[in-house]
Amino acid sequence: MTNNNRVVTVTLPEQTPSNYYPAAWKVPLTCSMTGQKLTDFRASEVNIRNTDGRISFSGIPSVIDNADDAEAIAAALLAAARYLRSKANG
Domain range list for the chain: 11-88
Looking only at the bridges linking them, the beta strands covering 55-58 and 24-27 are unpaired
pTM: 0.89
- 6-57 pLDDT per residue, tens: 888 889 999 998 888 989 999 999 999 999 999 888 899 999 999 999 999 9
CB burial of residue 43 (10 Å; 0-12, 13-18, 19+): middle
Residue 5 has pLDDT above 90, yes or no: no
Does 78 or 89 have the greater pLDDT score?
78
